[in-house]
């Protein structure tokens, strides 16, 4: 997967994604991250990329030309153009289903806004998807793009060392994941549930499924409305 990020702060992206699993995924060439500085495409000698909003009001707006030129610089003529995602609080809320869908692409371009946002005309011309990472306002799209790249990349084969760890987890089937335990078996008089020490895989699976249902019921009952529930799940929840 190749990610290209159009941003005013390329160092933020590089530093933020250089360590841990994302760093290793880049070393192994499973993902490639290129941050393109929009300021390099500024039209004027002061390298200014923003200006006052037409109609008045507070703040500055990112000008369309440098963004369009930065975009053109990364598009290869003749090839199918990749999806261009604009990070904006006005976009579709990002979720696991979207992460899975994006993880199947070969290449993605992200546009990070700053200040009051981006001139609408460049959004109209280049953006295919508008995505928000939540109902709050960030100062820029850089943190949002890092969140998306992390969530998308861990779904790409071989990015996680133990691939099964991305197989059953929170939001699969629209349920929250069951509780997890590791050594020691007793921590401050609190013992790991016996079933997990039993070695009986069928019973462990049943227990985990039931714990997922209980957790979702208590913490995120809204998810149950669209969850993939079996007959046995429904019977359990009715109890």
- Residue list, annotated binding site: 113, 133-138
Instruction: Output the smallest distance, CB 53 to ligand SAM, in A.
Output: 10
The interface with ligand SAM within residues 28-87 (CB under 6 A) comprises: 87
* Dist CA 79 CA 77 (whole Å): 6
Among 109, 198, 103, which Cα is nearest to 145's?
A: 109
| CB-nearer residue toward ligand SAM: 20 or 139 | 139
Q: H-helix or E-strand containing 124?
A: helix 120-126
Please give the structure tokens belonging to residue 71: 């975009």
| CB-nearer residue toward ligand SAM: 92 or 191 | 92
Q: Kindly report the backbone phi and psi dihedral angles of residue 38, in degrees, each rounded to the nearest multiple of 5, phi listed first.
A: -60, -30
Q: Could you tell me the strand order of the sheet in which 107-112 lies?
A: 32-37, 2-7, 107-112, 83-93, 129-132
- Cβ atoms 84, 67 nearer than 8 A: no
The interface with ligand SAM within residues 96-155 (CB under 6 A) comprises: 112-114, 116-118, 132-134, 136-141, 144
- Cβ atoms 203, 209 nearer than 8 A: no
Instruction: Output the smallest distance, CB 193 to ligand SAM, in A.
Output: 38
If binding is defined by CB under 6 A, does position 10 make contact with ligand SAM?
no
| CB-nearer residue toward ligand SAM: 56 or 157 | 56
Among 93, 85, 94, which Cα is nearest to 126's?
A: 85
Which residues neighbour 64 within 8 Å (Cβ) at sequence distance 6 or greater?
A: 118, 119, 121, 122
| CB-nearer residue toward ligand SAM: 86 or 178 | 86
Instruction: Output the smallest distance, CB 62 to ligand SAM, in A.
Output: 8
Instruction: Output the smallest distance, CB 74 to ligand SAM, in A.
Output: 18
Among 89, 99, 174, 175, which residue sits at the site for ligand SAM (rule: CB under 6 A)? 89
Instruction: Output the smallest distance, CB 124 to ligand SAM, in A.
Output: 15
* Dist CA 14 CA 33 (whole Å): 8
- Nearest residue (beta carbon) to ligand SAM: 113
Query: Total residues contacting ligand SAM (rule CB under 6 A)?
Result: 20
Residues that bind ligand SAM (CB under 6 A): 87-90, 112-114, 116-118, 132-134, 136-141, 144
């Amino acid at each position: 997967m190749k990610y290209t990020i159009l941003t005013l702060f390329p160092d933020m992206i590089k530093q933020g994604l250089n360590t841990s699993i994302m760093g290793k995924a880049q070393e192994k060439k499973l993902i490639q991250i290129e941050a393109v500085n929009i300021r390099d495409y500024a039209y004027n000698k002061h390298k200014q990329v923003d200006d006052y909003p037409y109609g008045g009001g507070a703040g500055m707006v990112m000008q369309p030309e440098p963004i369009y030129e930065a975009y053109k610089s990364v598009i290869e003529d003749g090839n199918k153009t990749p999806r261009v995602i604009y990070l904006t609080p006005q976009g579709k809320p990002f979720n696991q289903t979207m992460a899975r869908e994006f993880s199947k692409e070969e290449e993605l371009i992200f546009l990070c806004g700053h200040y009051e946002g981006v001139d609408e005309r460049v959004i109209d011309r280049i953006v295919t998807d508008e995505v928000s990472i939540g109902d709050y306002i960030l100062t820029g799209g850089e943190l949002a793009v890092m969140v998306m790249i992390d969530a998308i990349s861990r779904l790409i084969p071989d990015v996680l060392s133990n691939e099964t760890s991305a197989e059953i987890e929170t939001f699969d089937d629209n349920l929250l994941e069951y509780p997890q335990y590791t050594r020691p078996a007793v921590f401050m008089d609190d013992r790991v549930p016996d079933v997990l020490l039993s070695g009986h895989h069928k019973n462990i699976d049943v227990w985990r499924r039931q714990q997922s249902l209980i957790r979702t019921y208590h913490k995120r009952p809204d998810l149950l409305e669209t969850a993939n529930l079996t007959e046995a799940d429904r019977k359990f929840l009715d109890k």
